[in-house]
Amino acid sequence: QERYRKRYVSVPASVLTELRDIPSVSGEVIWLKQLKRQLDTHEKRVEAVLGEKWQERYNTGQQLAQLIARFATKLDPKPIIEQWVTEANSLPQFDTESFIFSVDKGISGTHMSLKVNFDDKYVTLFKEMRRLTALGIRIHKGTLIAQRAIQNNRIDVQLTFDSIDVKRRYPVSVKLKEAVSIFTRTCQQIERSITTDTNTTTANGPTTTASNTTTNTDSSVILSMMPELFKLVDEHKKLCQRQIVKGADRRWSTPDRLLNEYVDTLAKYAIDLQDGTQK
């Protein structure tokens, strides 16, 4: 009984589904279906031992049948799906005329960062729709806030949210976010490296002891290479920056071919910058 009383967020399965990139609603529906199958198996075992109409033939049969029915009601995924439908329909429609980039000024307004203008809620919505559809839940574009028709245990729901544009832009948004993440992370790494190298050189200062002769020689070689390395990294960084500037007027309504070409180029420049930094 204890297994059926636990909430989804408190079971190890919730962590496992998250690691597998399964969104929360779909993960809970999968978990409930598994528990329902286990409950049905237990009920069949009781019937195999006690025989047919065991609910009526034994004093405790009716109580056990009622208990099983209550558990089965709690394992019904329809209320969870209906709540998800309501939340999904509360999302604003995806604006294809919005720019692909936005600038986040933070709480204080002094630290700015580049963001991809694609809300993670849309990403989660798309993942949920894909998973729920795979689970046999039919999702329709409709005008009703939430409607379900139960026919042969089939669940039909209608969304006012039009996910067609989200579905089209989801793959390119993921790649664009990854490119921006690589660029931002690499720039931060470059700044830390410059600060560390400067502090190390200042702290060590000139040394003339015999034990440090080899170290000083190696340091001199590295220092002589630094201008070339910085120049190489700077070239890659400028390519990324120029490509980002080119995307300032790009919108999600940009034709697929042009948008994909732009994102592919930015991703290539970002990876080249990362590789150049690691040399």
Neighbours of 176 (CB within 10 A): 24
Within a domain: residue 131? no
pLDDT of residue 196: 61
Tokens of 274: 């990362």
Within a domain: residue 181? yes
Q: Show the domain range for 184.
A: 169-278
Within a domain: residue 149? no
| pLDDT band at 227; cut points 50, 70, 90 | low
**pLDDT (tens digit, 9 = 90+) per residue, 42-60?**
888 888 877 887 777 777 7
Within a domain: residue 82? no
Q: Is residue 268's pLDDT more than 70?
A: yes
Residue of higher predicted confidence among 198 and 34: 34
pLDDT of residue 163: 66
Percent with pLDDT over 70 in the chain? 72
| pLDDT band at 260; cut points 50, 70, 90 | very high
**pLDDT (tens digit, 9 = 90+) per residue, 159-208?**
666 667 777 888 899 999 999 999 999 888 877 776 665 555 445 555 44
Report the predicted TM-score, pTM, of the whole model to 2 decimal places: 0.65
* Least reliable range by pLDDT among 27-41, 132-146, 162-176, 213-227: 213-227
**pLDDT (tens digit, 9 = 90+) per residue, 94-143?**
888 999 999 888 766 667 888 999 988 888 888 888 888 888 887 766 43
| pLDDT band at 145; cut points 50, 70, 90 | very low
Within a domain: residue 143? no
* Per-residue buried b or exposed e for 113-129, using 16+ beta carbons within 10 Å of the residue's own CB: eeebebeeebbbbbbbb
Give the total number of structural domains in the chain: 2
- Neighbouring C-alpha atoms within 13 Å toward the C-beta of 98: 15
Supply the DSSP symbol for 251: B
Domain ends where: 56, 76, 96? 76
Domain ends where: 76, 101, 136? 76
How many Å apart are CA 170 and CA 211, to the nearest integer? 58
**Contact status, residue 205 vs residue 198, Cβ threshold 8 Å:** no
Within a domain: residue 183? yes
Phi first, then psi: what are they for 33, rounded to 5°?
-65, -40
| Mean per-residue pLDDT of the chain | 78
Q: Is residue 228's pLDDT more than 90?
A: no
Q: Is residue 224's pLDDT more than 60?
A: no
**Contact status, residue 236 vs residue 144, Cβ threshold 8 Å:** no
Within a domain: residue 94? no
Domain ends where: 53, 76, 99? 76
